[in-house]
A and B are shown apart, each in its own frame.
Chain A
Amino acid sequence: MRRFIFIVTVMMALAALTAGAEGARKLRVVATIPDLKSLTEAVGGDLVDVDSLTRGTQNFHEAEVRPSMMLKLRRADVLVENGLDLDAWADVAVNGANNPNIVRGAAGRVDISRGVPILEVPTVRVDRSMGDVHPLGNPHFSLDPGLAPIITQNIVDGLARVEPENRAAFARNRELFLAKLDQEMGRWQKMMEPVRGAKVVVYHPDFIYFLTRFGLVQVATLEDRAGIPASPGHLVNVIKMMKAERVKMILVEPWNDVKLANRVAEEAGARAFVMATAVGAVKGAENYIAAIDFNIKTLSEALK
C-alpha cells in the first residue's frame, strides 16, 4: 500500500511541475477530419494551431483510433467534430487522452452539425439490415459550400467559448472567408449551370449535399446498402439503370474500390472519377475551396 501511495505521489508531483510552464500561445485546436481543419484555420487565422486526426484519403467512418490521436487530443484546447456519428470514434480517442477540456459537454467540444439542415434523415424504422445506416441523417455535409456559413458560425462560437476575447477576430476572419467563398460560389454556379439536372451514380452516399446544392441527381449507389460491399446482382441492376438513364459518370471516394467502379462504368458506357471527398483526398484539393473547386471542375467537364 505504501508503494502505491508513493507511486501516485511521485506522478502527481511530476504533473504539477510540468503544468505551470504555459505562456502566451495560440489556441490548440484538433479537428476530426481535414475539412474541419481547413475551415478552422480560415476562422482562427493566426490565433490558432490546427491539427487533424485523419487524412483526406481515409474513410472517416472507420478511422482506427491510434494513441497518436490521443497525444494530439491531450494537448488540445478545442476539438472540432463533424457529429451525426461520422466521427463517433473520437470518443474513444478522447477517453484515452485524459484532457477535460474536450470531453463531451466541455466548452472546448465543438459539434459543427448544430443547425445544419440534414438530408436523408430516416423517416421509417431503421436497423442494420439497411447497412451502415445513420439514424441521425447523412453526415457528409462538410464540403457543401452552401453550408459553410453555418459550419463556420459554429466554429466561431466554439473558439469564442474558450477565448471570448478573440470572438471579434474570429468573426472578422469568418466574414472574410465567406466573402471569398461567395465569389467562388458565383463562378461555380455558372460552371455547373449547363449540367444542371444531370444524373450521376455514386459509390458511397457521401455526395448528396454537394449534388443537391448544384442541381445534380443521384440515381444509384454502387454499394448495395451503405457500407455493405456490392453484390453482383446489384451491380448488374445498376449497370442496366445507368444505360437506361444515360448516366455518364460514377463518383468514387479515393478509399473505395476504384477498379470496381471503372469496370461498372465501362460496362455502362460511362466513366468513373475519383472525387475530393475531403480536403486532401486528391492532389489539388489542399484546402476547403480547392477541394470544392476540384469537384466542380471534374463534374462540369465530365458531364458536358
Chain B
Amino acid sequence: MHALVVVSVLLLVALLAAPVAAQEADALRRELDQMRRGFETMKEQYQKSIEALSDRLKRLETTPVPTAVGPAPASAIQALQAAPPGTGLGSSPMSPSDLLRPREPYSLYGQRGSGQLLFDMGVTGDFVGAFAPHNVQKSGAGTFGADTNRFFPREVELSFFGQIDPFARAEVRIEAGSDSSVSLAEANLTLLTLPYGFQAKLGQMRNRFGLTNVIHEHDLSFVDRPNVLRNFFGDEGLVEKGVEVTWVPDFLPFYLEALVGAFNGDNTTAFGYGRITQPLVTGRLRTFFELGDTSAIQLGISGANGQTADRLTSTILGYDVKYKYRPEGWLHPLLTLSSEGLYSRRRLEEVVEVETLVDTDGDGIPDTPVTNLIGKKSTRDAFGWYLQGEVQPLRRWAFGARYDASQFPDRPGFEKAIEPYVSFFPSEFLRFRVAYKHTDRDRTQIEEFNLNGATARSVNEVFFQATFILGAHPAHPF
C-alpha cells in the first residue's frame, strides 16, 4: 500500500516537472546559440589581428636594419641582417626624397629611455691664477691683461656633440669666461658622407690653422696661448663663421689632408671686414709620417687671406711641426716637440706728417713750410714663432718649456718669452699645472709697455692652472 502511494507521488511530481525541464532546455539552447555567435565574432577578430600582425611583420622585415643596436637572438640577427642595409650609405647616393624622409634618430626620439640622450654632453672648467709685480698689473701688460693678480675662471665650457643623423654630426660649445659673460664658442655641423673623400664643416668654429689654434684653452699643453698666436689672432685665436671643406685622397702612400675655407673675416686683430662677400679664405695642408712604431711626425702649412676693416689686404702664412716619441707599451708619450711659426703681410694706412712749402707772401714761390697729416698706405711684414718641448717620464707628471719670439703685425716691436711648466694629472679628467713666464720686450712705441718707467718691458709671471672635465670629452688626436 505504501509502495503504491510512493509511486503515485513520484508520477505526480514527474508530471508536474516535465514542463519546467522543457523550459530549461530551451534556455540552454539559446545560451549555446549566443556562445556560438560569440565564438564566431572572436574568431573573426583574431583572424583580423593575425592578418594585421602579419602585415606589420612584413613591413618590419623590409625596413632598415640598424648596424649597431642592442643584443638580439642570433637567428634574428641572421634573418634581419640579410635584409638590405637601411640607409644605403656607401652603396647608393641619397635622393632629395631621402633627405626629406624622417630617419632613425627621429623615430628613436619617441622610444628612448631615461639616460639615452642620443648625443654626448660634457663640461670643462679651466681656472687660472696669474701673479705678477704690481707695475705689470697696473700697465695691463701681463699675459692675462686685466686678470693679472687674480684667480679666475678662464673658460667654463658646456659642450654637446654627436650624430645629427646618419649623414652629419654636430658640435655646440657654449662658454663663460672671467667676466661672467656667456658666449657661443662653437656651433657647427659636419657633413660626413660627401663623395670622393670630401667633408664639409659649416657654422662657427675654431679654424684649423696651424697646430694650436684649433685647440680650446683647457686642452692646451701650456697655460697660455703662444705669444705669436695672441699677437697675430688676438687672445681668443681665430674663430670664424663660414665653411671649411677638407679632402683626404686615398691614392697617396702617406696621409694628406687638404683644406680650404671661406669665412666672414670677423677676427678684428687679423682681418675684420666681416662680410662673406669679401671672404677670409683659408687653406691648409697637413701630412703625417710614422717613424717606426714608437715615433711619428706631423707637418703642416696654413694660409689665410682676407681684408681688414679698412678694406686693406691682410695675409697670414704659417708652418707647424709636431713630433712625438712614445716607447712601446707606454700609455703616454715620453717626448713631445712642437713648433709653429706665422708670417704676416698686411697693408696698413698710417697717418704721417708731411711737410710742404706754401706761398705765403704772394710772390708765387712756395717759401713757408707747413705740416699736414695725411694717410699713407704701407705694407708691414711681421714674423713670430714658438718651440715647445715636453717630457713625460711618469704617467701623472709632465715637464715642459716653451720659447716664444714674436713681432707685431700692425705695429713695430718685438717680444720674446720663456715659459717652463709642470703638469700633474691625478686622473685623465683632472689636471693641475704651474708655470713661470719671463717676457722681454724691446724699446718700442707701444704705449702700455712704456708706462711706469717702462718696467713692463721685462715681465715675470707665475701661473697656476686647474682644469677638470665632467662627462663626455672626445679623444684627442695626435
A114–B69 CB distance below 8 A: yes
A71 touches B255 (CB 8 A): yes
Q: Which of B442-478 contact A (CB under 8 A)?
A: 474-478
Does residue A67 face the partner (Cβ distance < 8 Å to B)? Answer: yes
B474 nearest in chain A by CB position: A92
A153 CB-CB contact with B under 8 Å: yes
Q: How far is the CA of A71 from the CA of B104 in the complex (A)?
A: 29
Assuming the contacts A7-B283, A100-B193, A161-B85, asked whether A106 and B71 have C-beta atoms less than 8 A apart, the reply is no
B38 part of interface (Cβ distance < 8 Å)? no
Q: Contacts A68-B255, A74-B250 hold; do A107 and B90 have CB atoms under 8 A apart?
A: yes
0/1 interface trace, chain A 218-257, chain B, CB 8 Å (1 if under): 0000000001110000000000000000000000001100
Known: A100-B90, A111-B68, A128-B429. A15 touches B196 (CB 8 A): yes
Stretch of B6-14, B146-154, B240-248, B361-369 contacting A (4+ beta carbons < 8 Å): B240-248
A-chain residues with CB within 8 Å of residue B89 when the two chains form the complex? 100-101, 103, 105-107
How many residues belonging to A are interface residues under a CB distance threshold of 8 Å? 72
- B19 proximal to A (CB < 8 A): no
The reply to whether A64 and B478 form a contact with Cβ atoms under 8 Å apart is: yes
Within 8 A of A (CB), among B70-103: 70-74, 77-78, 81-82, 85, 87-91
Cα distance, A75 to B336, chains bound together (Å): 29
Q: Is A269 an interface residue (CB 8 A)?
A: no
Check if B260 sits within 8 Å of A7, measured CB to CB: yes
A3 within 8 A of B: yes
Q: Which residues of B in the span 168-226 have a Cβ within 8 Å of any Cβ on A?
A: 169, 190, 192-199
Q: Which of A51-59, A184-192, A194-202 contacts B (4 or more CB under 8 A)?
A: A51-59
B427 within 8 A of A: yes
Closest to B478 in A: A66
With beta carbons under 8 angstroms apart, the residue of B77, B249, B281, B298 that contacts A67 is: B298
CB-contacts of B328-344 with A (<8 A): 328-331, 333
In the complex, B312 has a CB within 8 A of chain A: no
Task: Report the bound CA distance from A286 to B251 in whole Å.
Answer: 30
Any chain B CB within 8 A of the CB of A132?
yes
Task: Report whether A104 and B78 are in contact in the complex, using a CB–CB cutoff of 8 Å.
Answer: no
Interface presence of B326 (CB below 8 A): yes
Residue A124 lies at the interface, judged by CB distance under 8 Å to chain B: no
**Complex CA–CA separation, A21 to B169 (angstroms):** 30
Please determine whether A99 and B283 come into contact, CB atoms closer than 8 angstroms.
Answer: no
CB-contacts of A142-170 with B (<8 A)? 149-150, 153-154, 157-158, 160-162, 167
CB of A19 closer than 8 Å to a CB of B? yes
- Verify if B381 is at the interface (C-beta below 8 Å from A): no
A55 touching B293, Cβ below 8 Å: yes
Q: A64 near B78 (CB under 8 angstroms)?
A: no
Name the B residues within 8 Å of A227 (CB-CB): 427-428
The contact size tier of chain B is 35 or more
B67 close to A (CB within 8 Å): yes
- Considering the chains assembled together, what is the distance between the CA atoms of A15 and B195 in angstroms? 9
A98 touches B429 (CB 8 A): no
Contact A65 B166 (CB under 8 A): no
B286 at the interface (CB under 8 A from A): yes
Docked-complex contact B196 and A96, CB < 8 angstroms: no
Instruction: Tell me whether A11 and B67 are in contact in the complex, defined as CB-CB below 8 angstroms, given that A3-B281, A66-B296, A106-B166 are known contacts.
Output: no
Task: Give A71 to B250 CA distance when docked, in angstroms.
Answer: 7
Q: Which residues of B contact A91 (CB under 8 A)?
A: 474-475
* Interface residues as binary, B242-267 with A (CB distance below 8 Å gives 1, 0 otherwise): 00011111110011011010100000
**CB-nearest residue of chain B to A66:** B478
Instruction: Identify which of B71, B74, B477 contacts A65 (C-beta below 8 A).
Output: B477
Residue B432 interfacial (CB < 8 Å): no
Whether A115 lies near B73 (C-beta < 8 A) is yes
| Interchain CB contact under 8 A, B90 and A18 | no
Return the CB mask of A77-99 against B: 1 if under 8 Å, else 0. Answer: 10000010000110110011111
**Across the interface, which residues of B come within 8 angstroms of A64, CB to CB?**
324, 326, 333, 476, 478
Chain A residues near B477 (CB-CB < 8 A):
65-67, 92, 96
Is there a chain B Cβ closer than 8 Å to A110's Cβ?
yes
Q: A18-B249, A107-B89, A111-B68 are in contact. Are A95 and B81 (CB under 8 A)?
A: no
Asked if A1 lies at the interface with its beta carbon under 8 angstroms from chain B, I say: yes
Does A57 contact B329, Cβ atoms closer than 8 Å? yes
Q: Determine if B290 is an interface residue (Cβ-Cβ < 8 Å).
A: yes
> Which residues of chain A are within 8 angstroms of B257 by Cβ–Cβ distance?
67, 70, 96
With both chains docked as a complex, state the minimum distance between the C-beta of B219 and any C-beta of chain A, in angstroms: 13
Q: Which residues of A contact B420 (CB under 8 A)?
A: none
As a 0/1 sequence over residues 101 to 123 of chain A, the CB contacts with chain B under 8 angstroms (1 = contact) are 11111111111001111100000
Complex contact A57–B328 (CB within 8 A): yes
- Docked-complex contact B68 and A98, CB < 8 angstroms: no
Pairwise interchain contact B71-A115, C-beta atoms closer than 8 A: yes
**B395's contact among A8, A115, A229, by CB below 8 Å, is which?**
A229
Residues of B contacting A104 in the complex (Cβ-Cβ under 8 angstroms): 68, 163, 166
A254 to B279, Cβ gap below 8 A? no
The answer on a CB contact under 8 Å between A115 and B78 is no
Known contacts A4-B279, A68-B255, A104-B163: does B248 contact A98 (CB below 8 Å)?
Answer: yes
Which residues on B sit within 8 Å (CB–CB) of A11?
A: 198, 245, 247, 258, 260
Q: Which residue of B lies closest to A158 (CB)?
A: B67
**Residues of the A chain whose Cβ atoms lie less than 8 Å from the Cβ of B245:** 8, 11
B251 touches A95 (CB 8 A): no
Contacting residues, chain A, for B258 (C-beta < 8 A):
11
Instruction: Give, as a whole number of angstroms, the nearest-CB distance from B305 to chain A.
Output: 8
Residues of B within 8 A of A255 (CB): 329-331
Q: Give residues of chain B (130-174) contacting chain A, Cβ–Cβ below 8 Å.
A: 163, 165-166, 169
B475–A92 contact, CB under 8 A?
yes
Shortest CB distance A61–B (Å):
9
A11-B260, A67-B298, A227-B428 known; A19-B196 Cβ under 8 A: yes
Does B90 lie within 8 Å of A108, measured CB to CB? yes
Q: How close is A36's CB to chain B, nearest CB, in angstroms? A: 14
Q: Which residue of B lies closest to A99 (CB)?
A: B197
CA A99 – CA B193 in complex, angstroms? Answer: 7
Known contacts A68-B296, A101-B90, A115-B73; decide if A74 and B329 are in contact (CB<8 Å).
no
Are B293 and A4 in contact (CB-based, < 8 A)?
Answer: no
Within 8 Å CB of A217, what residues of B? none
Which residues from chain B sit less than 8 Å from chain A, CB to CB? 66-74, 77-78, 81-82, 85, 87-91, 104, 163, 165-166, 169, 190, 192-199, 245-251, 254-255, 257-258, 260, 262, 277-279, 281, 283, 286-288, 290, 293, 296, 298, 324, 326, 328-331, 333, 395-396, 427-429, 474-478
Q: Which 6 A-B pairs have the closest CB atoms?
A: A105-B166, A67-B288, A100-B193, A15-B196, A107-B85, A89-B475
Instruction: Give 12 pairs: A residue, B residue, CB < 8 Å, sorted on A.
Output: A4-B262, A14-B249, A21-B251, A65-B478, A67-B477, A95-B169, A98-B194, A105-B68, A107-B87, A114-B68, A167-B82, A228-B427
